[in-house]
Structure 1
């Protein structure tokens, strides 16, 4: 490999359809993060209650789970371009609904929660459809690179968006933040409208409960796909200690009061690692034994969490070298998770039959969303009897144990290799 090959593989950006979607998503990802920050902040400003803020998580999770599954069946049953257009318009309209409610002086928190729930339902339909589209517009050998570029963009948005939102709220208020979110969705709508027709592959499955069940039945027959999702669940459920960050910052790092630099670094460290990882992800496209690479990446993630937990345990209650070691390990873990997620996404896109791509991606969205929320519950419960350091360390141990168990019980996943490149017709309108 040359030095150039070491950096991010940008070949997917040479595909016009992918390039338009990716470029437009720069603005849209930042806009989405504005609403992610604005909704809980506005709810707290209205109620002064963290309990109500916590409800936003529930109101967001339920539609993500329900419509993540159902949205996948919609993606497989209809022209994917039309589904993307409709769901993108839905997200624009809900952002405008937030703007209208706030501009009108609404103080009813339930209207905000219901609007947020509706917005997440549109997102849950849009996301698996968007991911399934990549299979249609990119050569198979470029799917890992496409997934890496997409993840790097999302994680960069997770860093920039909250910073922009926090800076703008005192100056323009919540209503115009929502209006800005709606405006930043317009480039993505334009990119979606520019896509060619993407009708269902083969005989279209009718969207609905039966279609969802058929998709799950198909998944049951595909051990490689199931292990790819299970590994994500293991890594995030046991290895994501974000619920412990406030206590770690306050007690172990001695950062008293609300917020602070170390707390901000704890929350942003994984995203920073993912972005840095994305910049040096050129090797991912050249990996042949993708299953083994996923196993190694998750083991690195688990090891980084173990070291972070040990550093928390010996931290003397002040910002010392141990605190910076924790941040460094979370950055390393974020990069490893980015590599793993890119490879797992590519495996799902490559291995699942085209007629069930939407439903498989819908199930994956539920796994991706559910894992960190389960982690919040488990780590929050474990902190009392074990302490935050040991709870973090044990989570990393369980990541490694769970990953090795999967590798032993399903050796076919470890042996999984990248499919041979397919021929791409240069006159294909999607390319």
Structure 2
């Protein structure tokens, strides 16, 4: 079954008609992606410089080890290698999915040199200190070159004669036509920034994501510990959900039904001597019964929303977007239905994310994207609010993390000050 929809909801009872992305939306998304990529490349340059210095230190240690001196200081650069690798994992987690660290390497020199984790970290160090540093330099220089050349017509008349005009170090400007030609070069730099920097950022981070993550040769005790923690979080989430349901039934529907029973008893005793009073009591009992029924429906929807069975994930997410106070765009492309528990988790994750956006972000627009590919369901919720969301704080994000952990999924949150805030969730699409 195919579920594919693109809708815009302005907040209301029903979803708005299908609306294509405008040129403004595409331009804003492209600018946002390029800005994030430049910031990511700049942060990567920081660790790349440290990697180059550490590589020089390790090389010096290896050379001096031939005469025995380097063996004495070898543990220090190895500790520096592990610390820098941990710093790079933290950096990558800020810009995308978390990089799960392998088991800590051994501390003894001989065992550390034979450890596969150390070998992968050394491989990453070599790649990041060369290719990563080069990409980081380009990421920092490209905006400078673009500003310098694009703004050249504004200041070229104040420059000394025969001064190099372009940022490439060639050519000089003698006329306005020459100055405008330099500005066109600046436009070319901008096109390169918009088109290539996202790929450059991925190319810079790819070695770290492949080489610094726990590999298949890592001790299975790590995975056992992770699954144990996941199971504990799932059981806690299940117990919390049961307490919520019990509290809702006890404090809401049960009280209403008790009130209905009391009112019906009183009306039965009054029907003979005071028909008008009995009719009033019956009316109150009917109202209480209708309220109790509505509360029971609310509790039932909180367990498993019927809209998922009736309209599928695409329809359920469209309903959430329509009810959100912030205008939302929906883009769902899930070729096959996922397991009911996975779809329910996806529904509640998006519902909680939209609630957080409406309450705390100050956003004007939000976008919900869902993709099903390769046996995984990937959700992405983005808003243009003030940013600064804390991935470790707030009961809402804690609840989302627990629901995802129950399915062995993953969560990534990026929310720099000033926005945008992007929540990415991956779930195995089990059947």
Higher strand share: 2
- Which of the five TM-score ranges fits, normalised by the shorter chain? under 0.3
Q: What TM-score, normalized to structure 1? A: 0.25
Larger radius of gyration: 2
TM-score (norm 2): 0.25
* Greater relative CO, 1 or 2 (CA 8 Å, sep 6+): 1
